Amino acid sequence: MTDSKYFTTTKKGEIFELKAELNSDKKEKKKEAVKKVIASMTVGKDVSALFPDVVNCMQTDNLELKKLVYLYLMNYAKSQPDMAIMAVNTFVKDCEDPNPLIRALAVRTMGCIRVDKITEYLCEPLRKCLKDEDPYVRKTAAVCVAKLHDINAQLVEDQGFLDTLKDLISDSNPMVVANAVAALSEIAESHPSSNLLDLNPQSINKLLTALNECTECGQIFILDCLANYTPKDDREAQSICERVTPRLSHANSAVVLSAVKVLMKFMEMLSKDLDYYGTLLKKLAPPLVTLLSAEPELQYVALRNINLIVQKRPEVLKHEMKVFFVKYNDPIYVKLEKLDIMIRLASQANIAQVLAELKEYATEVDVDFVRKAVRAIGRCAIKVEQSAERCVSTLLDLIQTKVNYVVQEAIVVIKDIFRKYPNKYESVIATLCENLDSLDEPEARAAMIWIVGEYAERIDNADELLESFLEGFHDESTQVQLQLLTAIVKLFLKKPTETQELVQQVLSLATQDSDNPDLRDRGYIYWRLLSTDPVAAKEVVLAEKPLISEETDLIEPTLLDELICYIGTLASVYHKPPSAFVEGGRGVVHKSLPPRTASSESTESPETAPAGAPPGEQLDAVPTQGDLLGDLLNLDLGPPVSGPPLAASAVQMGAVDLLGGGLDSLMGDEPEGIGAPSFVAPPAAAVPANLGAPMGSGLSDLFDLTSGVGTLSGSYVAPKAVWLPAMKAKGLEISGTFTRQAGTISMDLQLTNKALQVMTDFAIQFNRNSFGLAPAAPLQVHAPLSPTQTVEISLPLSTAGSVMKTEPLNSLQVAVKNNIDVFYFSTLYPLHILFVEDGKMDRQMFLATWKDIPNENEAQFQIRDCPLNAEAVSSRLQSSNIFTVARRNVEGQDMLYQSLKLTNGIWVLAELRIQPGNPSFTLSLKCRAPEVSQHVYQAYETILKN
Amino acid sequence: MSLGEYEKHWKSVVSQSVCDYFFEAQEKAADVENVPPVISTPHHYLISIYRDKLFFVSVIQTEVPPLFVIEFLHRVADTFQDYFGECSEAAIKDNVVIVYELLEEMLDNGFPLATESNILKELIKPPTILRSVVNSITGSSNVGDTLPTGQLSNIPWRRAGVKYTNNEAYFDVVEEIDAIIDKSGSTVFAEIQGVIDACIKLSGMPDLSLSFMNPRLLDDVSFHPCIRFKRWESERVLSFIPPDGNFRLISYRVSSQNLVAIPVYVKHSISFKENSSCGRFDITIGPKQNMGKTIEGITVTVHMPKVVLNMNLTPTQGSYTFDPVTKVLTWDVGKITPQKLPSLKGLVNLQSGAPKPEENPSLNIQFKIQQLAISGLKVNRLDMYGEKYKPFKGVKYVTKAGKFQVRT
């Protein structure tokens, strides 16, 4: 007598037979027939033809039969709307039934019938049920409002059900409260603007009371709702935290994680000095660890969330390293996540244990896991400096195992270790070279080639090694080809005599025989560099590389803060904000952590800046990966990046004279080539990507850099020049100029989004510069910048920033950040933006000063081709705050004596000699700081010529 | 592996084809246990659990807490287990209408409705042979027609009007040791996962207090919702009105910081010779920190490397099997008698010509110790208030191996 019998009828008239049974007089037979229908339905058979017959069975006092019919109705009403109307009367009647179970069942089922005509009839019964005396009916009706809203939102609003629902938040029964919250949250999700859940301290209090008494799913709804609330100060936050903390001991892991979310979010508002803050931190650890003893699926979700939590607050789990140790029979998805967290928690204190574990894992069976374990060893070396040596020796041990994929992974990570600790572990190169032949994966080959190229001078047979790769050049992947090209060029620069042939071979392979534009471009760049200025080539190619940052896979802080608000949700599993993947993205609201607002008495420690910190602070984290310098030089170890564009026509194709003069100079004056003036390596204090300025001087034609255009061309306000091309900034193009109006200096920027994703969270920061220019306000980009959109912003500047003399004097290094990355560029500002309004000196003063400044400080310049007369010159200069103090006519020449003052108080005195009829003027400048003269002259040029 | 598929839609109908993504992922994973629990498809998310050789897959359209879904799926599986005595494809097939009714009762429009087994059982009666006979004679049904009493009271987990002739309250303190022991026998990681399962058959509305000799041990505890958290915080006493029947009262973790006793040790020597098609296998198990109790029900499971073809071993006690397909060696040891330690030794046949395996297998050990909670946890007393009768009370302790691994 089991239900499997319902599946067995395969006779031809099955539907017909069922029809007859459904219309039987015998109750029992009817019920059996409906059961058969349901059974067919669950396995996907179409039994919709029986609709009228099944609906006929609905009017019964047998609850089971009624339920079965309801199940059927829910499934088929959509395809048979007209028939479904027949059932309406029964529904309405059932909503009045004395048995609350039937009332609830009727209202529940009606909500599931997604037919417009039926929903109209649903309103009245629903209204009654929302006010039903029985809480079971009320809580069912609350959910029904959400269902109805999904079908017909307008109807729900018109009928005032939303207000009724809001009233239910104050219901005496906790289950009703929970369901009302759940329904409101769901409605609010589809209508983010509707202010449905405007929580206030009173309603929060009700929710917290209901929290203790409702079922576990009710607790989840309430906790998720609480997480969206922003307490008014740290006291309120603390009191909510105190009442939520007991949920951490709940047996249901979803409740625990929702509670963790509320606590993580509100903790942001608490001062770290507070005793309670420490208590809370301690309380968070045990429940998180407990989640790891649950079923593997739960563990997985928990681990993904723990990954976020340890990035945000590493102190929570810093003593719990051991629970993340991998058990050999964990599912692979759990193993990989545990490994990730182990590295995040690795520190000097526990590194020995971690390494021992990782070494153990590297001999496991699962290839993916072993690879990740080997990589993890490398990451430990980079993260914990003290352990680097031990990590390297562990990796060498692993290489000795000769297991192919272990060796390859080990070489890839050793390359990273070399980059982090240059000139420290080169003794292992010999061991690495022994394994050259076994490498068959592009990443490992590329890493090995990089190592050979980088340390070519220490590897006796570097040329042979690289040559062996060259044989199958065209069969290699792009990554390997690019790396090989760079490595051979490096080798050539280090050992020019023996490797001339090799470099010619690779250059011709890369340029003439390759279809890959990246490879060709890079080939041409090297070619041209080597042929025009080998010393410069050496400076560029062998430049010191920026060190790689400690942890490359950290989630960007603003995204991390947003994800913390989504703990326990799908977003936390994917580590992406819901807007990035939720279907249709219907008005997803971005969530952010609450800023810390202390109540008046408590003192706030300033160094702990939460999400609302000034943009400058976030810029401090400078990730040095993937910047321009790295891409250009030799770090193709990631996905290939397109090289800078190059005018191929300009390149001499003749391979014979390629290295003609270059070779001599390279070999002749090798030692003094280092530190050649035009290619100063970036100063250590500066951000690594300030290539704009130094490169611009020599290679601007090659790299199409436009920095400095602002001073050379343009009017008083130079037209905007492109400062940061889109291809260097992941699609963000920045052009701009400087203005000075009514004593205010501004940087007029034009931001264009040429990427395919929306850009947000802009911030700007300047490096220290000669005149202390600094943004006077944060970079205000009000709306997110959508693709192809352009926005114009005027950024007011002050000169109150910190001062550091730059070379050239007027260069400015700028970092701009958005949600994608941080970008750097460098530009030159015209000096006249620094000329202040009160720069007019009185005559006596002028004379005295002029005499006072020694003659060696005087500089003379010619301003050619200026058609203006003395009056015009004087008035035009005055509008730029260069004031004419006196004017004399000496032997038919007009002599203008002028003064100007810079923002930092430096006076510049000028004598401008104008001969009528001669478009060339002579400018003599005297200043106590003679280095500004050149730039003042340029300002004169700029102002007069436009 | 699930052959048949059953579907239930709550909100809107999702085409069955969405499951293809799941089957794809299932094929990709070498082992059924390695199917990722969250899979994204272009329009939906599939969240699945694997239990009792069945996959339970749910299709999600909007952002929901995945833990919530996973917990719910486990609850569904628990409920099937509870109703049908087993959670298997056959059981589901045999009871498909009840399954359907249950699912309808458990979830409404994506909101869980009744997931407590006590309440479900009032709404839908579990099938019994007797009941189906009675039903077919009298025409009564499996579905209760009154509102379950616990559904809305402040104690949703207990129904009113419970009556027993014999009133009893039993507690099982079950502790599992999770441990990783390294080659040399030292403990890399160890912790105790403990639970107290209760079987309460008491009439009326009993209010129980359970106190411990050493409650300080319990610093990381998860409670059944019936427990009054405040009492625990202030007095370290578990005070609660219990659900009727079987339920898990608390689960707790005694972490590695406290000393976790390891009751067995394993001496092992597993070696494979270079360029030879055989290896040696030798393991011996002995008692250690067993608090004077007998260790029984010992089983050793070893996943041997792929190149192992067969094993010729001799156990001093118990019996062993080696499955040449899955390469799993299982040794059913039984009890340890300290006079003669059980050992298993012999030869391993390797695939000829294959390189000697790099990895050494881990040993997975199962054991059981009756009448001992290895953490030292002890129940002090159980008091009952609110009812007049005198119940039978009992506490049982047992310690087991959880994920207990020895690396070689």
- The string of pLDDT tens digits covering residues A182-222 is 888 888 877 766 666 777 888 888 888 888 878 888 888 89
Instruction: Say if residues A180 and A207 touch (Cβ distance below 8 Å).
Output: no
Partners of B181 in the β-ladder: B187, B406
Which spans in A404-477 are helix H? 404-420, 429-434, 442-454, 462-470
Q: Three-state SS string across B329-375, please?
A: EEEEEECCECCECCEEEEEEEECCCCCCCCCCCCEEEEEEEECCCCC
Interface of B with A in 213-232 (CB under 8 A): 219-225, 229
| CA distance to partner chain A, nearest, from residue B98 (Å) | 9
Cα–Cα dist B105/B99, whole Å: 10
Instruction: Say if residues A752 and A768 touch (Cβ distance below 8 Å).
Output: no
Low-confidence winner among A38-47, A124-133, B265-274 (lowest mean pLDDT): A38-47
Residues in Cβ contact with A811 at an 8 Å cutoff, skipping those fewer than 6 apart = A693, A769, A826, A827, A828
pLDDT reported for residue A810: 86
Q: Looking at the predicted structure, is the pLDDT value of residue A713 above 60? A: no
Average pLDDT of the residues in A531-540: 82
User: What does each C-alpha distance from B269 to B282, B287, B340 come to in angstroms?
Assistant: 5, 18, 19
> Which residues in chain B are contacts of A44 at CB distance < 8 A?
7, 16
Instruction: Say if residues B187 and B181 touch (Cβ distance below 8 Å).
Output: yes
In the sheet where B379-385 sits, what is the strand order? B237-240, B207-212, B379-385
* pLDDT confidence bin for A274, thresholds 50/70/90: confident
State what percent of residues in chain A have pLDDT above 70: 83
Query: Strands B187-201 and B207-212, how do they pair?
Result: unpaired
Cα–Cα dist A506/A36, whole Å: 76
| CA distance to partner chain A, nearest, from residue B42 (Å) | 8
Tokens read off for A431: 């061991």
Cβ–Cβ of B34/A249 closer than 8 Å?
A: no
Average pLDDT of the residues in A756-782: 83
pLDDT reported for residue B128: 63
pLDDT reported for residue B320: 92
Average pLDDT of the residues in B82-110: 82
- B277 at the A interface (CB within 8 A)? no
pLDDT reported for residue A679: 35
User: What does each C-alpha distance from A173 to A220, A302, A429, A778, A918 come to in angstroms?
Assistant: 16, 32, 72, 49, 96
pLDDT reported for residue A263: 92
Nearest to A574 by CA among A878, A307, A932, A842: A307
Q: Looking at the predicted structure, is the pLDDT value of residue A564 above 90? A: no
Cα–Cα dist A124/B253, whole Å: 52
* pLDDT confidence bin for A3, thresholds 50/70/90: low
Cα–Cα dist A660/A682, whole Å: 30
Of A701 and B217, the structure prediction assigns the larger pLDDT to B217
Cα–Cα dist B215/B83, whole Å: 35
Low-confidence winner among A25-39, A143-157, A509-523, A687-701 (lowest mean pLDDT): A687-701
Owner of token pair 């990989």: A336
Of A4, A327, A363, the CB nearest to B358: A363
Of A635 and A907, the structure prediction assigns the larger pLDDT to A907
For B177-223, the pLDDT digits (tens) are 999 998 888 888 888 999 999 999 999 889 999 999 988 888 888 88
pLDDT reported for residue A674: 37
Of A258, A293, A295, the CB nearest to B253: A293
Average pLDDT of the residues in A829-853: 83
Cα–Cα dist A803/A769, whole Å: 5
pLDDT reported for residue A587: 45
* pLDDT confidence bin for B394, thresholds 50/70/90: very high
For B87-100, the pLDDT digits (tens) are 888 888 888 878 88
Instruction: Let me know if A594 is exposed, middle or buried by CB neighbors in 10 A (0-12, 13-18, 19+).
Output: buried
User: What does each C-alpha distance from B221 to A215, A238, A286, A781, B210 come to in angstroms?
Assistant: 19, 23, 8, 49, 15
To 10 degrees, the CA torsion angle through B207, B212, B218, B221? -20
Average pLDDT of the residues in A770-784: 82
Cβ–Cβ of B63/A570 closer than 8 Å?
A: yes
Q: Which of A58-72, A706-720, A905-919, B130-144 has the highest mean pLDDT?
A: A905-919
For A299-339, the pLDDT digits (tens) are 999 999 999 999 888 888 888 888 899 988 888 899 999 99
pLDDT reported for residue B9: 66
pLDDT reported for residue B155: 65
pLDDT reported for residue B396: 94
For A618-665, the pLDDT digits (tens) are 333 333 333 333 333 444 444 433 333 333 333 333 333 444 444 444
pLDDT reported for residue B64: 79
Instruction: Say if residues A432 and A465 touch (Cβ distance below 8 Å).
Output: no
Cα–Cα dist B364/B360, whole Å: 13
Q: Which of the residues B111, B136, B191, B259 would you substitute to probe the A interface, choosing the one with the greatest number of A C-beta atoms within 10 Å?
A: B111
Angle between helices B66-84 and A296-312 in degrees, nearest 10: 160
Instruction: Please name the amino acid found at residue A522.
Output: R
Owner of token pair 């994929």: A405
Average pLDDT of the residues in A605-611: 40
Q: Which of A258-272, A528-542, A732-746, A750-764 has the highest mean pLDDT?
A: A258-272
In the sheet where B392-406 sits, what is the strand order? B221-223, B245-254, B187-201, B168-181, B392-406, B363-370, B296-303, B328-334, B319-323
For A49-85, the pLDDT digits (tens) are 888 888 777 777 777 788 888 888 877 877 777 777 7
Q: Identify how many contiguous H helices and E strands chain B contains and give both numbers.
A: 7, 21
pLDDT reported for residue A549: 66
Interface of A with B in 808-847 (CB under 8 A): none
Q: Looking at the predicted structure, is the pLDDT value of residue A922 above 80? A: yes
Angle between helices A275-291 and A234-244 in degrees, nearest 10: 40
pLDDT reported for residue A586: 45
Instruction: Say if residues B338 and A398 touch (Cβ distance below 8 Å).
Output: no
Average pLDDT of the residues in A784-796: 83
Cβ–Cβ of A253/B220 closer than 8 Å?
A: no
| CA distance to partner chain A, nearest, from residue B180 (Å) | 7
Among all residues of chain B, which has the CA nearest to that of A114? Answer: B12
Here the ipTM equals 0.80
Which spans in B142-209 are helix H? none
Neighbours of B27 (CB within 10 A): 9
Of B97, B189, B222, the CB nearest to A39: B97
Cα–Cα dist A766/A800, whole Å: 12
| CA distance to partner chain B, nearest, from residue A229 (Å) | 18
User: What does each C-alpha distance from A112 to A96, A138, A859, B107 come to in angstroms?
Assistant: 19, 17, 88, 12
Average pLDDT of the residues in A515-542: 85
Residues in Cβ contact with A365 at an 8 Å cutoff, skipping those fewer than 6 apart = B303, B305, B306, B359
Nearest to B185 by CA among B285, B85, B100, B115: B285
- A405 at the B interface (CB within 8 A)? no
Tokens read off for A673: 């080539």
Tokens read off for A732: 């963000």
Q: Which of the residues B76, B96, B120 would you substitute to probe the A interface, choosing the one with the greatest number of A C-beta atoms within 10 Å?
A: B96
pLDDT reported for residue A261: 92
Q: Which backbone phi and psi does A736 adopt, to 5 degrees?
A: -175, 180
Instruction: Say if residues A391 and A420 touch (Cβ distance below 8 Å).
Output: no
Instruction: Let me know if A890 is exposed, middle or buried by CB neighbors in 10 A (0-12, 13-18, 19+).
Output: exposed
Average pLDDT of the residues in B7-22: 73
Partners of B47 in the β-ladder: B38, B58
Report the mean per-residue pLDDT for chain B.
Answer: 83
pLDDT reported for residue A618: 37
Instruction: Say if residues A142 and B108 touch (Cβ distance below 8 Å).
Output: no
Tokens read off for A871: 């009056």
pLDDT reported for residue B199: 92
Report helix, strand or coil for A122.
Answer: helix
Among all residues of chain A, which has the CA nearest to that of B307? Answer: A365
Instruction: Say if residues B348 and B311 touch (Cβ distance below 8 Å).
Output: yes
Cβ–Cβ of B13/A78 closer than 8 Å?
A: yes
Q: Looking at the predicted structure, is the pLDDT value of residue A140 above 90? A: no
Residues in Cβ contact with B227 at an 8 Å cutoff, skipping those fewer than 6 apart = B238, B239, B240, B249, B250
Instruction: Say if residues A799 and A773 touch (Cβ distance below 8 Å).
Output: yes
Q: Looking at the predicted structure, is the pLDDT value of residue B176 above 90? A: yes
pLDDT reported for residue B143: 57
pLDDT reported for residue A192: 63
- The C-alpha angle B69, B75, B77, rounded to 5 degrees, equals 110
Neighbours of A651 (CB within 10 A): 16
Report helix, strand or coil for A275.
Answer: helix
Query: Strands B207-212 and A822-828, how do they pair?
Result: unpaired
Q: Which of A82-86, B28-32, B315-319 has the highest mean pLDDT?
A: B315-319
- A325 at the B interface (CB within 8 A)? yes
Nearest to A215 by CA among A254, A242, A262, A187: A254
Owner of token pair 């005070």: B239
Of B282 and A582, the structure prediction assigns the larger pLDDT to B282
